[in-house]
Amino acid sequence: MKNIQRNPSRIVIKMAPPLTRIGLAGLAVMGQNLALNIADKGFPISVYNRTTSKVDETVERAKQEGDLPLYGFHDPESFIKSIQKPRVVIMLVKAGAPVDQTIKILSVYLEKGDCIIDGGNEWYENTERREKEMAELGLLYLGMGVSGGEEGARRGPSMMPGGSLQAYKNIEDILLKVAAQVPDSGPCVTYIGEGGSGNFVKMVHNGIEYGDMQLIAEAYDVLKSVGKLSNEELHQVFLDWNKGELLSFLVEITADIFGIKDDKADGHLVDKVLDKTGMKGTGKWTVQQAADLSIAAPTIASSLDARFLSGLKEERVEAAKVFKSAGFGDILTDQAVDKKKLIDDVRQALYASKICSYAQGMNLIRAKSIEKGWGLQLGELARIWKGGCIIRAMFLDRIKKAYDRNADLANLLVDPEFAKEIIERQAAWRRVVCLAINSGISTPGVSTSLAYFDTYRRDRLPANLVQAQRDYFGAHTYERTDMERSFHTEWFKIAQQSKI
């Protein structure tokens, strides 16, 4: 298409930009960086945002970062018409109503066979609803979890697309290049499955992330509050941990955090950060889904509770005054601690607890996959989490191998390799929990992980008493260990007769 401009001395021919391969709507931090990543991999991309200044900002960044093939548009019609058919548009907008509003704006200009991809943290049932609505218009739809934060989106995220297989095939070549690349296992993307499976897997990923972060925070608390480690010592500890079995993105950035000085006052910045943790909802959804599916996820649930309690800053300050006036300080013991031994014990406790957190997340994914008939491959999920995403860690490779050995593995805890590692670490794990309890340090994640392990490994639990109580007051019946069928006992009558 040519645009001819005439002047007295010459004719100037301006060429319109060629049709692009893909479009992206929503240019906040994640959207901008993913768009630049796509362009950087050689795929011409159109971008659009309702706030036009974001479009101009992204175009300018593309010029500065290597004159990348990125084209900005200020209105939805020209944006859509700039993309080659069948058109593919990625949305990166806030979950919920904004997604529906964006779909409504864009779908007016889309044609049959075109595809919309939601790259946000959306509730999986919303994705399934939208996929059906788009199908009625002849459009394809994908819900694609994208993990890795700002840096991951720009350099290579882990991506979890679910929904239309045809839609995935239309952009598979793009996703394979844009995703994080792990030398021994390939691009960190795969077609997850039908419906809202991609969003569900990303949701559980975030739940595992909640658990991971809480466990690391508790390790920090024990080392700092009981071990009296300085920020410089903590920086070195986490650097060392990141060279071994705990090698992971979260341990790596934790080491970085302890090394950063405050640029506005003396000391380290981490000590000036307010102890209130925010959240966007995916952790809560994970815990709710675990409850709905009757899947125990205490490590993830305790991390959510910890965030709720952190939000009660003013109440906690007042409670601290109440108990301090009663002679109850923050740390209950002033005993001498062997720092080297403590650091090693906490390392082992952190690793064992992490296994529990991942095991709970994987069990939740499997339960939902069975309920929905998604046929999800847990080993493949572990593979695409090895790079790009927030929970990427060295031991994800070993999780993949565990499911490769046994696709029907009931729980990571009973995989022979993981079982051996937990047995080797349980003494240190128990020492850390006991030390924390005796010192008045809350370690809900590490403690509930240990309780999860201790409950799961026992062949007989006190649940027999709970069931007897239920039958006593509610005639809920019970099963016996030595006979088939259900039974009910008139506990109250028998008890009363024995008192006569």
| pLDDT tens column, 192-215 | 999 999 999 999 999 999 999 999
Residues in contact with 11: Cβ distance below 8 Å, sequence separation at least 6, in sequence order:
4, 5
What stretches of 35-82 adopt beta strand conformation (E)?
45-48, 70-73
Annotation-wise, does 74 bind a ligand?
no
Dist CA 468 CA 105 (whole Å)? 59
- 32-61: per-residue pLDDT in tens? 999 999 999 999 999 999 999 999 999 999
Is 46 annotated as a binding-site member?
no
- Residue 213, marked binder: no
Rounded distance, CA 35 to CA 21, Å? 12
- Contact residues for 215 (Cβ-Cβ < 8 A; gap 6+): 299, 303, 350, 353, 354, 357, 445, 446, 449
User: How many Cα atoms sit within 13 Å of 284 on the Cβ side?
Assistant: 8
Question: pLDDT tens digits, residue range 416-438?
Answer: 999 999 999 999 999 999 999 99
* Whole-angstrom distance, CA of residue 345 vs CA of residue 427: 9
What pLDDT shows up at residue 279?
79
pLDDT value for 9: 46
Q: Is 286 annotated as a binding residue?
A: no
Predicted local confidence at residue 8, as pLDDT: 44
pLDDT on residue 2: 40
- Residue 16 pLDDT > 80, yes or no? no
CA neighbor of 115 nearest in space, from 17, 18, 19, 25? 25
* CB-based contact 69:38 (threshold 8 Å): no
> Any binding-site annotation on 470?
yes
Residue 9: exposure state from Cβ atoms within 10 A (0-12, 13-18, ≥19): exposed
Quickly state the pLDDT bin for 11 (edges 50, 70, 90): very low
For residue 184, what pLDDT is reported?
86
In SS3 terms, 384-414 reads as HCCCCCCCCECCHHHHHHHHHHCCCCCCHHH
Considering the chain, what percentage of its residues have pLDDT values greater than 70?
Answer: 95
Strand partners, 467: none
**Angle of the 339-372 helix axis to the 416-439 helix axis, nearest 10:** 120
Give the CA angle between residues 118, 120, 121 to the nearest 5°: 125
Taking a C-beta distance cutoff of 8 angstroms, is the pair 470, 476 a contact? Answer: yes
Is 440 annotated in a binding site? The answer is no
CA 344/CA 246 separation, integer angstroms? 12
pLDDT in tens, 82-113: 999 999 999 999 989 999 999 999 999 999 99
Q: Is residue 198 annotated as involved in ligand binding?
A: no
Is residue 356 within 8 Å of 449, Cβ to Cβ? yes
The answer to whether 476 is annotated as binding is yes
pLDDT at 15 over 50: no
**Res. 17: pLDDT tops 80:** no
Which residues 6+ apart lie within 8 Å of 338 measured at CB?
Answer: none
Whether the model pTM is above 0.85? yes
> Is the confidence at residue 6, as pLDDT, over 60?
no
Average pLDDT over every residue of 242-260 = 95
Rounded Cα gap, residues 159 and 119, in angstroms: 9
476: how many CB neighbours lie within 10 A of its CB? 13
Q: Which residues are catalytic?
A: 202, 209
27 is in an annotated binding site: yes
pLDDT number for residue 334: 65
* Across 345-366, average pLDDT: 97
> What is the band of 3 on the pLDDT scale with cuts at 50, 70, 90?
very low
**Which 8-state DSSP code applies to residue 273?**
S
**124-167, pLDDT tens digit by residue?**
999 999 999 999 999 999 999 999 888 999 999 999 999 999 99
User: Mean pLDDT for the chain?
Assistant: 92
Angle at 224 between CA 220 and CA 225, to 5 degrees: 115
Query: Could you tell me the domains of the chain?
Result: 22-191 (3.40.50.720), 203-457 (1.10.1040.10), 462-498 (1.20.5.320)
Interior/surface letters 442-463, b for 16+ CB within 10 angstroms, e for the rest? ebbbbbbbbebbeeeeeeeeee
149 assigned ligand-binding residue = yes
Structure token digits, residue 76: 């939805």
Q: Is 445 annotated as a binding residue?
A: no
Q: 222: Cβ–Cβ under 8 A, 6 or more apart, which residues?
A: 342, 346, 432, 435, 436, 439, 441, 443
- Range 56-68 average pLDDT: 96
**H or E element in which residue 325 lies:** helix 313-325
337 labelled as ligand-binding? no
Q: Which residues of 398-426 are buried (b: 16+ CB within 10 A; e: fewer)?
A: bbbebbeeeeebebbbebeebeebbeebb
The type of residue at 181 is: Q
SS3 90: strand
Neighbouring residues of 186: CB distance < 8 A, sequence distance ≥ 6: 383
- CA-to-CA distance for 326 and 422, rounded, in angstroms? 40
The two tokens of residue 299 are 């490590």
**According to the annotation, is 279 in a ligand binding site?**
no
